[in-house]
Amino acid sequence: MYRFLIIVAVIFATPFLAHSKKLDSLKCTNYKELLLDWDNDIFLHHDYYYTQGAHIFYLNPALRKNPANHILFRLKNADNYYGLGIIQEIYTPKDINDTLLNLVDRPYSGTLYIRSFIVSSVPEKHLRFTSQLDLGVLGPLSGAKDAQRIIHDWLDLGFPNGWDFQIENRPYLNYNFLVEKGLISVPGIFDFIGNSRLRLGNIHDDFLLGATIRLGRMNDFFKGYNLGNRTYKENRDFQLFAFINTSAVTVAYNATLMGGIVPPENNEFFRFKDIEHFIGELTAGVEFSYKFAGLRMQETWKTPEFHGGENHGWGTVSLFFRF
């Protein structure tokens, strides 16, 4: 499986390495945006597996000077959007009231990491390429236990009893690529976009292949980020559309299930043979924006990640603001 991902990585990255340029010679678009995401499975009346996530992203051309950008890829003749984000994600077993360690259920785990990223968009080719570097921690230092306690106290849901069994501290290092390519378009009304993602690191190693459909009143997907880039005068202030994305994921490794590439001496987590290596995902939602602000609401469903696991889903509310 690792050999397969290495081959995919080489095939995946070669065209973009060939079209990348030095940092100082790249076009930088004057686009600033703040994005706030909150994931929670309470939107679907669940409280297990991937149960909560918080994401804050900031895009600003001044972030072009971020040293991490020197190892991120960009495209020639592209609108380049430079960003930083901080992400926390929380995972629990299905039975959060159990005070004993359950060896056949998802382990308690949390991640906290900083993401440096560049989004390179070429509207003329209906192409967007994103590269990301994630650095942080998996384990108690992520603050997942305390974050879940705050939310559960706020919603009066009680508190899970098994955080003493969470995966111990591990460094978080991942390098990710995302490609989105417009395949069919009726300008301003309909888009069919193919997408693929490759993640390599000590936390996630997987490859995703999928497609997105957008339908409604909207700007060109490749002429902006979440909101329209004002460089393009044809972008409209008001957008309202629905979207659906379906994807298949080939998984080689997932540290939030398996406890780390170097597992504890007495490994109490899932092994390679215990996880599902082919996973399906479906996301659907609606998005509304007007001028400098927008709101997106979506639901995501996922097939089981490990043998004996169940389908799972969560909702996401996103707010974004352009400056």
Residue 26 has pLDDT above 60, yes or no: no
CATH number of 2-20+33-322: 2.40.128.140
Q: How far apart are alpha carbons 210 and 150 in whole angstroms?
A: 35
Nearest to 19 by CA among 132, 116, 115, 122: 122
Q: What does the pLDDT look like over 229-276, one tens digit per residue?
A: 888 999 999 999 999 999 999 999 999 999 887 655 566 789 999 999
The single-letter DSSP state of residue 224 is B
User: Amino acid identity, residue 108?
Assistant: Y
The dihedral through the CA atoms of 80, 230, 128, 296 has a sign that is positive
Q: Domain ranges in the chain?
A: 2-20+33-322
Q: What does the pLDDT look like over 108-143, one tens digit per residue?
A: 999 999 999 999 999 999 999 999 999 999 999 999
Residue 71 has pLDDT above 90, yes or no: yes
Nearest to 83 by CA among 32, 121, 38: 32
**Taking CA 301 as the corner, what is the angle to CA 299 and CA 304, rounded to the nearest 5 degrees?**
155
Percent of the chain with pLDDT over 90: 75
pTM: 0.89
- Tell me if 179 sits within 8 A of 13, measured CB to CB: no
